[in-house]
Structure 1
Amino acid sequence: MSSDESSPGTPSPNARKPNTDWWPNRLDLEILDQNARDAGPVSDDFDYGEAFQSLDLDEVKADIEQVITEPKEWWPADYDHYGPFMIRMAWHSAGTYRAYDGRGGAAGGRQRFAPISSWPDNANLDKARRLLWPVKQKYGRNLSWADLMILAGNVAVESMGFQTFGFAGGREDSFEPDKGVDWGPEEELETQERFDEAGEIQEGLGASVMGLIYVNPEGPDGQPDPEASAENIRQTFSRMAMDDRQTAALIAGGHTFGKVHGADSTENAHGPDPEEAPIENMGLGWQDGETAREEGVTTSGIEGPWTSSPTEWDMGYVDNLLEYEWEPEKGPGGAWQWTPTEGEDVEAAPDAQNPDEEVTPMMLTTDIALKRDPTYREIMEDFQENPMEFGMSFAKAWYKLTHRDMGPPERFSGPEVPEETMVWQDPIPDADYDLIGDEEIDQLKAEILDSDLSRTRLVKTAWASASTYRDSDKRGGANGARIRLEPQRNWEVNEPEELETALETYEDIQQEFNESRSDDTRVSLADLIVLGGNAAVEEAAAEAGYDVSVPFEPGRTDATEEQTDADSFEALKPRADPFRNYIRDDVQKPAEEVMVDKADLLDLTAEELTALVGGARALGATYRDSHLGVLTEAEGALTNDFFVNLLDMGTEWEQTRDSETVYEGRDRETGDLEWEATRLDLIFGSHDRLRAIAETYAAEDGEEMLVEDFVDVWTKVMRADRFDLE
C-alpha cells in the first residue's frame, strides 16, 4: 500500500455517505448528541478540578521547564529554548475563543483535533504537544491536556524572566472536536469570504481568515497595509472581548519572545498537515524531511526574530518598533515582512540555530499596525514610558486570554489562582447571611403565587433569567439576578415592561421577607425568581393531575452593576429563543438551526430539547404571550397537548401568505383554522428523530413521562450555573 493510500486524510473507497451529504438541508442534531454521551475513557463523575488540586504544582512546572530547556534532536529548538514555541501553542489554544457564542478557547484541549490541529496557523504545534507528552504521560488524567497546554505557556514566559498574573487549573479534556463551532463559510484554508460590504467580519466569526487564529500577519489579502491591518486587528480582538489596550499588550508581550519561521518558500518546505499525513507519521504533520534541521523551519513563511534577545522579557520589541523606521520586503519564505530602513542600526540577534551567526530583527505588518494606528501608538508609547505598566498589562491580558472561557472563579483550582476577581469573570458576591430553609421556601412560594404575577409571567421571568447560561464558556444563568441590570433588563425578548412589573413584585416580596426576620436569614432576588418559576411549574403540573416537586437549592446572590460588564454581557442576548417561540427578524439562518444551537449552548440533548419546548408551549410561555405554537385548549396546564395536536393527522399544515415562518393548521375535513405555529414547532413533526421523541410524549401513556422529563430539564437549566453545588 502506498503512503497516499494509507493517509488518514484519504477517504476509503468503501466509505459510507452520511445523511447530511445525501440531504444537506436536513436539520443536524449531532451537536446535541455530544451532550448526551461521554466521548472518551474518562468517566462522567471524574472531577478535573479536584484532580488538579491534588498535584504538586511546583513539581509539574519543574517537569515542564525541563522539557522547555532541554532540546530534542528530532525537533530543533530556537535558541536552545522551546519557551516561545510553548507560548505560541498556549496562545493559539486559547485564542480561538469568541465572545459571540462562548465557543472556542482552551477548554477541552481541542487543539489536538481537526480542523484546528491542521490549520495553517497551527503548523508545527503538533510538535509542541509531542514534546510535552512525557509530562502528560507522567500525570495522566490528573493533568488535562487543556490545562497542560496553557500551563506550559505560563512556565515558558516565567522561564524567560516574566512574572505571570496567575494560573487556574480544572479545564476538562474533550476527546472529539466541538461540532457546534462555525469557523466560517470558506471551503479552502487561508481564504477570506467572511466580510460584508461594510468591511465587517460576519457576525459570530472571530478570525479574519479561514485557518488563522486572528489576522493575516502579512496584512489583509496578503498585502503590507498597516492601516488596514489595524482595522482587522481591532475587529478580531474585540470579537474575543479584548479592548485596545489589552490587544496591544498581548501583541507586544507575545512578540517580545521568539521568532517567525520562513526559511524557505512554503511550496518547498511544507509537508501535508496532520489530517493529510500518511499513517506512518503517527499523527504528525508538516514533515519536510531534513529541511528543518539543515536550513531552518518554515511555518508562517515569514523569517526572523523581533528583538535581539528572543528568550528574555525586556522592552526590546516596544523599543524596536517605536524607535526605528521599517519598510516592507519579501523575505526568504516569499512573504511580506518589514525590515529596518537603510541607516537604521537595529541591534542584531543571534541566529536561532547557530549562535555564532547574527540576524537582523524584523517586524510583521500587524506590528507596524500598532505604530501607524493613532490609538494603538498612544498605548505603545505609554508602555515604553512605563515598563511596569506594560508588564502588568501583558500579565493581566495574558491571564484573561488563557482563562476567559473557564467561567467564574468557583471553577478555578490550584495554588496560583489570583485573589483578585476581574469583572470579565462575572463576579457574584458571597452570601453574608443565612439561607432560607424548607419552611421559608414554602412561605415564599405561597406569597409569590398569591401575588398579581400570572403563572406564565413567573415561568417566563425565571426562564429569561436562567436561560442566558452558556455551557461553552460557563457564562450567564440565574445566579446574580443580572436580569434586573443592564443590558438584560431591556432586551426585547425579555418584554421589558412586563419584566419591570415582575421585578417590582419580587423586590417587594424580598423586602418584606428580609425586614420581617429577627434572625440572619435572608433571600436574594436571584433565588426568588427561580423559586417563582418552580412554584408555577408545580401548579401547572397539579392542574394537569400530577403531584410534582421541583427541586430548589437556595444560595444564589445578587450581583451589582459594578460587577457586571454590560458591553460583554450584550453578547449573551438571544438572537432566538425557541422555548419562547422567539426569533429576531435579522437572523439569517433557518429558525430550527438556531434552536439547535441555543439548545447546545444550554448543554441539552435532543430529548431534553423536545421535552422543554413541549412543556413550555403547554404553559403558554411564549414571547408577548403569542398563541403561536400553543397547541392546547388548556393553556397553563403541564399537559402533552402540544405533541398530541401537532401530530394529529386530522390537521393539515400550510405556510401563511404573510410569513415564511408561520404556518396554519386547518381541519382536513372542514378547512377550519385550528392552530397557528412556527417552524420551531413543526420541526418536531417533520424531522424524523425529533418526531420519534415527540410521538413518545404524544402517546396516551406519554404525558406523565413528559411532566417528569420537563421538570428534570427545567431544573437543569435553573441550576446550570450553580458551580458551588458541584
Structure 2
Amino acid sequence: MDAKTGEMSGCPMHGEGGLRALLGRTNKDWWPDMLAIDILTPNGASNPLGEDFDYAEAFNALDYNALKADLTALMTDSQPWWPADYGHYGPFFIRMAWHAAGTYRTADGRGGANSGQQRFAPLDSWPDNGNLDKARRLLWPIKAKYGNNISWADLFILAGNVAIESMGGPSFGFGGGRADVFEPERDIYWGSEDKWVNQGVQTRIDPTKEMNDIEGPLAAIQMGLIYVNPEGPQGNPHDDAGMARDMRETFRRMAMNDEEVVALTAGGHTFGKAHGNGDASLLGAAPAGGDLAAQGFGWVSTHESGGIGEHTVTSGIEGAWTNTPDKWSENYFRLLLDYDYELVQSPAGANQWQPINQKEEDMAPAAWDPSIKVPTMMTTADMQLKRDPEYRKISERFRHDHEAFKDAFARAWFKLTHRDMGPKARYLGPEVPAEDLIWQDPVPAGTKPSDADVAAVKQKIADSGLTVSQLVKTAWASASTYRKSDHRGGANGARVALAPQKDWDVNEPAMLAKVIDTLNGLRGSMSLADAIVLGGVVALEKAGAGNVPFTGGRGDATQDQTDVESFDWLEPEADAFRNYVGKKKLAVKTEEMMLDRASLLGLSVPEMTVLIGGLRVLGANHGDRGHGHFTKRSGQLTNDFFVNLLGMTNVWKATDDTEEEYVATDRKSGGETWRATRADLVFGSNSELRAVAEIYAQKDGEEKFKRDFVKAWNKVMNADRFDLSYAKYHR
C-alpha cells in the first residue's frame, strides 16, 4: 500500500452479485495473509466475558473520578516511543475519539463508536486512521488498570472528552454504556471499491447527478475515509464547489447540519496539527498487513528517526491550524478569516493552504521544539468555511460570538460521540446531561397499565371489528422500525402515528389511520404505544397462537419530539416481512434486503424464517397482496406457508424478466396454485433456509412453529424496551 495515497496493489477481486454485493469487500480481500479467526466462530461473535456479563453493572461500579484523573495525567505524560506534540496528547485523543464515532451513518445506523470497532480491521487500517494504533496503545495501561469496568468503546470517547477539557475546551457531558465486541462486525458494508482513497479514484458523489447520489447506506466520500478528502475532491484543491458539496452531503448522511459541520471542524481544528513532515514512501504496511514482530503496530517508518516526533507522517498534510494548538482559543476563525491563503505542498507532497505574509505572533510553535515558529495552515476542507456562502455566514457568527461557538461545539461533539447510543435510558454515569435532545428520540415515561386495564382494552379491541391482518400489520409497522445498530425506532413512543412514519407507503397510510383512530377510541388511559402492541396480542390469540405475553409501560412521543428528517432515514425501501418492495430499483436482490433488515432487527435465521412464515398466513402482506399467502386458512397462525412451499406439487416460473414475482402450477393439472416473490421462494431454494423451513413444515412442526413465532414476535415488539432493561441503573 502506498503510504500517502493508500492505493492497494495486488488486491484480489471477487465475483459480482450475491451477499458480497451487500457486504462489500472483506478483510481477507484487503489483507490475504490475515489470520482467519472466524473459523472458530461459525455461530456468531465470540465474547470472552461470557453471555452473563453485564457491562452496565460493571460500569456503575467504576471509580469514574479516578479514571478521569488518570486520563488527565496521561495527556501530558509524553512517551519516547511516540512523543506528544507540544507535550500534550490531547489533540491525538480527540482525533481518535472523533474517528471512532465518525463512521456512524444515519441510513442504517451502522458504524460509530458504540462497540469499539476501531480496534479491528478494516477500521484499524484505514488510511484515514493512520497512527491511531499508537493512541490506543497509549491508553492500554489505563484499560488494564480499570479492566472490565470500562469498555474500550467508552474509553475512546471519554479520552476525547478529557482531552478537550484538559486543554480548556467546552464539554456538554458524557454517557457511558458502550459494550465492546471482540471481532469485526461483518454486516457493515463499507463499499465495493478495490482501492483506498487516492487521487485516481472518483468520489462517491457523481457531480453530474443529484447531490445524494452516494451509494446506499454509505456516507464517506471515498473508501478508507471518515468524511471527505481534506485536499479536495479526488485531491483537487481548486474544486471549491465540489469540496463544499462533499462536506455537506457526507455530514448530512452522518446526521449533521451546516452549523454542526462548522462547529465541529473549527472546534476540532482549534487543537493539534496534521502530520506530513517526511517521506510518505518510507511508511510500512497498515496494522492488518503488518508482520508478527510489529505486534499490531502499523505504518512503521524506515526513516532514520523512526518516523516519530518531527518526522511523523499520517495524512501527509503538515502543520497546525492555529498558533495555540494545545489550548482552546478563538484563533481558528481569526486566522481563517483575516488572512489570505496560497496553495503550497507539504514535505510529503500534500496540497494545503498557507497564510500569506503571516505575522510571527500568529505562527505556531513547532510540535517538537516550542522555540521554533512555523506557519499555520488550512486544508481545502477548512477553506470552505470561508469560501462557501452558507458556511461563511456561520463562521462569521461564531467568530463574533465565542460563547455561541463554544456551546455549538460542545453540543455537536456530544452528538457526534453519542449519536449511535440510542435512547437516553442507555446512558450511564455521573455526567449524563439532564437536557433531552431531539436526536435522542425522546419518549415520555409511560405508566404500566394494571391487569384489569389490559384485560378491558383487550376485550374492546377484540370486539372492535378490526381484523387480524390490520392489527398485525399495525403492530409490526410500529415495532419493526427498530434497528440494533443505533437502537433507534421501535414501538415505544408510537411514532407510527406521527409524521413521517404515518405517511410511509409501506405502512398503508389509509389502513393505518383507521386502526390508530379506532385504538385511540378504545385505549382509555393506556398509552397508544401499548395499545398498538396489545392489538397485535389480540390478533395472534384470535389466530390460535395461544397465550401471548404482554408487558406494558410504553410512552407516547409527540410530533414536537420527533425529528422528521432524521426519521425519514428509517423508511424501508423493501420489507420482506410484509412482502413489500418500493418503487425505487434496488441495488441488491430482494432476499438480500430481507437479510439486512433481519440483521438490523437482531434476528437469527430461525427467527427470521418463522416470522416470515407466520406473517404470510396472518395476512400481513402490504396491500393484502396474495404472494406468499400459501394457505386456505387465512388469518390463522398455521405452518401452511412452509407445508405448501415445500410441497412437491408445485412448478414455479417467473412472471417476467425482472424475476421478482413467480407463479406456481400444479404438476398434474397444470392449473395455477400460488403466487410468490423472491422473498418467499428463497426459503425453498436456499439450502440453509430450507433446512430451517423443513423443521416447521413437518407433521410435528406446527406447535413448535407457533411457540417459536410468538417468541420471535415478542422479541421484535420489546426490542426497544430500554426503559425496563436499564431501569435499575437509573434509580
Shared fold, TM over 0.5: yes
Give me the whole-angstrom Cα distance separating, in 1, the residues matched to 2:612 and 2:21: 18
Q: Secondary structure at the match of 2:157?
A: helix
How far has the Cα of 1:55 moved from its partner?
A: 1.1
Alignment of 1:541 with 2:541, yes or no, is no
Q: Which residue of 1 aligns with 2:140?
A: 133
1:181 aligned residue (188, 194, 209):
188
Structure 1 segment 304-315 matched on structure 2, within 5 A: 304-315=319-330
TM-superposed CA distance for 1:203, in Å, is 3.1
Q: What CA distance in whole angstroms lies between the structure 1 residues aligned with 2:42 and 2:172? A: 34
Residue of structure 2 in register with 1:195 after alignment: 205
Q: Distance in 2 between matches of 1:295 and 1:410?
A: 45
Q: What corresponds to 1:482 in structure 2?
A: 495
2:496 corresponds to which letter in structure 1?
Answer: I
The Cα shift of 1:50 comes to: 2.3
Preserved contact between residue 184 and residue 194 of structure 1 (Cα < 8 Å): no
SS at 1:362 equivalent: coil
1:627 aligns with 2:626: yes
Q: Is the 8 A contact 1:27 1:592 kept in 2?
A: no
Q: Is the 8 A contact 1:408 1:425 kept in 2?
A: yes
Equivalents in 2 of 1:435, 1:666: separation in Å? 51
Counterpart for residue 55 of structure 1: 62
The amino acid that maps onto 1:577 is D
Distance across 2 between alignment mates of 1:40 and 1:399: 29
Among 241, 247, 260, which residue is 2:274 paired with?
260
- Which of 310, 316, 339 aligns to 1:301? It is 316
- Distance in structure 1 (CA, Å) of the matches to 2:548 and 2:184: 35
C-alpha distance in structure 2 between counterparts of 1:581 and 1:627, whole Å: 10
Aligned residue type for 1:683: V
Distance 1:192 1:453 in 2: 53
Shift of 1:247: 0.8
SS across alignment from 1:337? strand
**1:384 paired residue among 382, 396, 399:** 399
Q: In the alignment, is residue 399 of structure 1 matched against residue 399 of structure 2?
A: no
| Equivalent in the alignment of 2:532 | 529
Aligned 1:581-660 pairs, distance under 5 A: 581-586=579-584, 587-657=586-656, 659-660=658-659
**Structure 2 gap segments, 5+ residues each:** 1-7, 27-37, 726-731
Deviations 1:324-353 (A, max 9, x none): 111111111101000112466661111101
* Aligned residue runs from structure 1 range 114-263, under 5 A: 114-190=121-197, 191-192=201-202, 194-196=204-206, 197-198=208-209, 200-224=213-237, 225-263=239-277
Choose 286-295 or 314-323, whichever is displaced more. Answer: 286-295
| 1:221-276 CA distance string (max 9 Å, x none) | 101133321110000100011110011000000000000000123223x2100011
Of 40-49 and 601-610, more deviation after overlay is shown by: 40-49
User: Using the alignment, how far apart are the partners of 1:293 and 1:677 within structure 2?
Assistant: 62
1:304-453 matches, cutoff 5 A: 304-342=319-357, 347-431=362-446, 435-453=448-466
For 1:426-480, what per-residue CA distance to the aligned partner results, in whole angstroms no more than 9, with x for missing partners?
001123xx53222221221111011021111000000000000011000000000
Letter in 2 for 1:114: A
Q: Hey, what's the Cα distance between the residues in 2 that align with 1:29 and 1:644?
A: 30
Aligned with 1:357: secondary structure?
strand
Task: Give the count of matched residue pairs.
Answer: 693
Q: Describe the superposition over 1:596-652 as per-residue Cα deviations: whole angstroms up to 9, x where unpaired.
A: 000000000111100110111111110001100101111111111101111111111
| Corresponding position: 1:665 with 2:664 | yes
Q: Which amino acid aligns with 1:538?
A: E
Q: How many angstroms apart in 2 are the aligned matches of 1:96 and 1:463? A: 30
Task: Determine the structure 1 residue equivalent to 2:710.
Answer: 711
Contact 2:17 2:588 (C-alpha < 8 Å) held by counterparts: no
How far apart in 2 are the matches of 1:297 and 1:377? 32
The equivalent of 1:516 in structure 2 is none
- 1:103-142: CA deviation from partner (whole Å, max 9, x where unpaired): 0000110000111110000000000000000111111111
Identify the match of residue 578 of structure 2 among 577, 580, 593. 580
CA contact (8 A) 2:22 2:189 kept: no
The DSSP-based 3-state class of the residue aligned with 2:720 is: coil
Letter in 2 for 1:212: L
Specify the alignment match of 2:30 in structure 1.
none
Matches within 5 A, 1:61-72: 61-72=68-79
In the TM superposition, what is the alpha-carbon distance from 1:195 to its structure 2 partner? Answer: 2.8
* Residues 1:345 and 1:88: Cα distance change in structure 2 (over 3 Å): same
Q: Amino acid of the residue matched to residue 68 of structure 1?
A: M
SS in 2 for 1:666: strand
1:676-724 CA-to-partner distances (Å, cap 9, x unmatched) read: 0000001101111101000111111111111111000100000000002
The Cα offsets for residues 389-442 of structure 1, whole Å up to 9 and x where unpaired, read as 0000000000000000000110000000000010000001123xx532222212
Separation of aligned partners in 1, 2:203 and 2:661 = 32
What is the CA deviation profile of residues 68-90 of structure 1, one whole-angstrom value per residue up to 9, with x for unaligned ones? Answer: 21011111210111100000000
Q: CA 1:553–1:294 in structure 2 vs 1: closer, same or farther (change >3 Å)? A: closer
- C-alpha change, 1:450 and 1:494, in structure 2 (3 Å) is same
Give the unaligned 5+ runs of structure 1. Answer: 1-8, 12-16, 514-521, 543-547
Please tell me the root mean square deviation across aligned C-alpha atoms, in Å.
2.2
